[in-house]
Each structure stands twice: as C-alpha cells, then as structure tokens.
Chain A
C-alpha cells in the first residue's frame, strides 16, 4: 500500500551548472542507497511548498550512497530548491518509472541524443555505460543546447570529448565568438556520424519539439523502431499511476514510462 510520506534526505553538495541549473547531491537519511535505474525519477518535496518530479542525473552505482539531481529553477518548488545549501533537508519519494532497459542493450552501439535539459536524465545513462564500458561497442553522444552558456555539465563534456571511449559531438543553436564547434540544430550532427543500423540502440531526451526530428534522422539511418528509446517527460504528480497528469492515451507515464521505445510511443497518438 502506498502513501505520500517522503523519505527525509540531506543535501550534501550543491554546484552551479549554468545560470539556471544547479546540481544537488542528496543522501537519504535512512542510510540506504536509492537503488535506481538510469532515467528513473524521484519526487522531491519541501514541506510547505510541495512536490516536483525530477530525473536522477547520477548512475545507479554510486559513491557514498548519494545521488544527484540537476534542477532548473522554473517554478515554486525548484526556486525554493535553489535557495538550499549543504546540510539542508528535503523529502524524497521514489525512484519511480521504468528506467532505461539496460539489460537489453549489451553488445550494442549506444547512440545518446540529449537536447537541452535532456542531458540531465541521460547523464545517468552515459555514466552508467561508461562505468560498464566493456559491455558495449561504440558509444556515441550527441549534445545540443540553445547557447554555449546553457550547456550542462561542461567539465564532464570536456572529459568525454577527450575520452577515446566515447564519440562526443556538440552543437548550439546560437554561438558566441568563443564557440569553435558545430552550430545549428541537433539533427545537423547526424551528418558527421556513421551509424550501424543493425547494432544501434538510441536513447533520446530533449524538449518535446525535438523528438520527431531526431527520430526521423535515426529512422533514416535504418535503425529499427524498437531500438529507439525515448524518455518522455510529463507532469508526474503522484508517481504511482493515479493522479492522471502524466497520462498519455491509455498509459500512465510514471508507471509505464518515462522510457518508451518508439515502437510503443508511435502507437500513442498523444506521445510525440
């Protein structure tokens, strides 16, 4: 039986990622690890303000039983989150959602496409794949942001760019004079990438408008619809398939999602 009681947790670290996003490191006060899968989410809770669903940005195998949440200040709760500092308390419910089907992707090429804040959930998958690097063939990472200043996890991206284990391509919609890499929408990156269609698993997260264009590019490369995974975001209120806010046609995204294959998603008229 389910109730709405959040687990008490402590903020153990806060770092500023961009003007709008901060990365919070959280530890559960009960001493347990969160035991989540990549691309699952939690409901964070501040009493007196409310709850909000936030994707988990850290991989399942953690250090010191902490996990990380990348939070953009957007509304009441996230604005209040941004005022928190180390040792402040928050409530956590979850993890919720199905998460990424990591057991299905061994031995494959992993193509990860992250637009904007989509890198926040996908970072859990990227770091997981890099930890288990030997189980996969190529790892290809396409990252898009509006402006260079909007890029999340810039230091890690620089590490990934230097890392021969991962092919990293980055673009921004609007460059500034210091920008030396690709300029344009994220689909432009596909021109420079070769994909083995029979061996590739794709994972896509980004703003709603991005999905159909990226999916079209990947399908054009010949990748099977069932091998393209989308992590869709809706307004998950309860996390337990009751409140109705995240419903897409007949499914509750908080239970049956947030990760759907394109094969499933394209049958849902409201998904994309």
Chain B
C-alpha cells in the first residue's frame, strides 16, 4: 500500500506518533545532527546529512542494564530485557541497512535477548536519500544508498509532499490511525519515479574498482604496507568503532548502588581499536599494534562479516572517516588495495 502526506501535515503525524511511541528523530545540535528523543515535532530536521551516532544505538544503547542483582542474595538476580515502544524516524537507507545486518548478527544463536526485545518494540520510518548527503561516504559504491527492507514506513520527498511506502502491518496501523495520509495517485507515482531518476545523477563512485571483489583483494592484502601506514596515524581513540552503525563489541561491568546492597550488571560499547581490547589477565595483548587493530576493523567489516552474512558489514555511511581525528579513511584504504591489485595484474 502506498500513500502520500503533505509537508504541512508532518507535524500532526509526529504528534500522533508521540501518543504511542518514544519518537526518535534527527535533530540539529551544535552544528551537526543527532538522533534524539523528541517531544516537539518542530525539533525534527528531516533534511540532515549523517548523524553523529547511528540510530541503531537506540536499539543497542550504551550502558544497557542486563541484570539487577542483590549483593546479599545471589538468587535474587533478575534479567532486565525490556524495550519501550519507540519509533525511529527519518532513517536513511544506509542506517536501515545497518540495522538489518545487526538484526541478523544479534539474532544468530545464541541470540541476544536485550537487542531483540528492544528491536521488537521499535518501528522504523525510513527516509529516502535522493542524492549524496555529504562528502566521505561510499554508500553508493556499496549499493547501500537504497534500502529494500527493514522499515515499516518509507518516505520519499516528491516536492510539497512525501510519497510513503507502507511496508508492514505496524506501518499500516500508523497510517490508518492518522488522518493525514492520502492514497497515492498515478501522478504521485510519476513524481516518485522522476525523483528516483534524478537520484542516479547525484551519486558518484569513490572506490576505483569492483566492490564485489574487495573482500577477495583484501584477503590477499593481509600483509600489505597500508596497515602500517594507517597504523602509524591511528591514535587508538576508538571513535571509528563507536560511531559505526554495525559495530557491536561490548564489555560487561558491574555497578553497585550507593546503598551497597543492590547493583546492576551493564554492558558498554567497547571497540577493537582500543589498545587493551585483546589484553588478557597475564598481560599478553593479542592485537598490540595499531596496524593490526586497523586491519582487524577493516577485515571484520569486509571479510569476516561478509563471509558469515553474505554482504559487507560496512554500509558506507562514512562516519568513521568524518570522526577520525587522525584522518584515516576507509575510502583511501580500499583504493590503495584496489590500486595495488591493478598494478600487479
């Protein structure tokens, strides 16, 4: 089912969502955008580039409580896995594709109760990218600038109104309850097709080579000099893995309440780029050089996840490039590897 909604009805639509869901939307903050919980539709900025943190972090939050325990009685520990109904709105296709991959990763047995519980209480309203949102992205090379699934509703700006694809039952309920939607007419569809035709002109390839072969080429570049070059630049701050929409490594730690009786076991985001990530109790560090860690990040996305799930773990959002203070760019790394392959042919 396809419908349309006019620009000036969007506020009412979001107010309707607010009565059922925590609404998470892109908002402007300090000169950039973030996904934040809103209670005023006026705060929403549908025209945004890329948010600092990806929306998936609302399904996989930092410092998530896993257990509540009682220091006096071990049997009183309880699992905490709950999700409030939330709506992630105006989500770009790259981030939708990231959530799709995270769904698969965390549903793989033994599946992650906390993620899945939160995911089930989340509706996703996608927002089509009709052109590149910024520099430093490679979503087009990867084909992740389009999302085919993983949303309940999907909005496309067709001038004066949005074309809305209703993908799920939850999406249909939202649309039916809200009176602002009109059934899409033939002209709306024509405008949609025009907008999409324009899209093709906007995006440009940034990787010099066949992306399908990237995983294969990387495997051969395991001992390439690029890892040392980038490793020397890397400050091991972990920014790249914290902003990545498909990074899910975590650490588990306990916090005790001030009453010294109760406490919580939480999980925090951790990152393979941090120095101590692979350090064990004996002091041995199994990935002690930054070069090894940089390589691991790239291989995890492009080789290991690809092998397990049949597609690349990098959705091309470019956040890791934007937030790297050492200016390490996966685009440069991929191009270096591709160029080397071409030289050796």
| A residues whose Cβ falls under 8 Å from a Cβ of B | 1-6, 8, 29, 47-52, 72, 74-75, 78, 89-91, 207-208, 233-235, 237-238, 240-245, 247-250, 269-270
Contacts and interface: CB of A to CB of B under 8 A. Distances in A.
Contact of A245 (B81, B116, B249, B307): B249
A245 B299 contact: no
B252 A51 contact: yes
Given A2-B112, A3-B113, A245-B249, A47 B304 contact: no
Contacts of A237: 250-252
Given A48-B256, A237-B251, A244 B272 contact: yes
A4 B66 contact: yes
A234 B265 CA distance: 22
B222 A269 contact: yes
B153 interface: no
Interface of B: 66-67, 69-71, 74-75, 77-79, 81, 105-106, 108-114, 116, 222, 248-254, 256, 263, 265, 267, 270, 272, 277-282, 284, 286-287, 292, 296, 299-300, 303-304, 307-308
A47 B265 contact: yes
Given A2-B110, A4-B79, A50 B67 contact: no
Main secondary structure of the interface of A (DSSP, over half): loop
B249 A244 contact: yes
12 contacts: A1-B111, A1-B113, A3-B81, A4-B252, A47-B71, A50-B253, A50-B265, A208-B286, A235-B280, A237-B252, A250-B303, A269-B222
Nearest to A52: B281
Contacts of A29: 75
A116 to B, nearest CB: 9
A70 to B, nearest CB: 14
Contact of A5 (B70, B79, B110): B79
Nearest to A51: B252
Contacts of A91: 74, 77
B277 A2 contact: no
Given A74-B282, A250-B303, A240 B75 contact: no
Contact of B67 (A5, A75, A89, A208): A5
B287 A74 contact: no
B248 A3 contact: no
Contact of B254 (A2, A47, A241): A47
B45 to A, nearest CB: 33
Contacts of A270: 286-287, 292, 296
B110 A4 contact: no
A229 B105 CA distance: 29
Contacts of A47: 69-71, 74, 77, 254, 263, 265
A71 B116 CA distance: 35
By CB atoms of chain A within 10 A, which of B79, B112, B114, B263 has the most?
B112
A243 B113 CA distance: 14
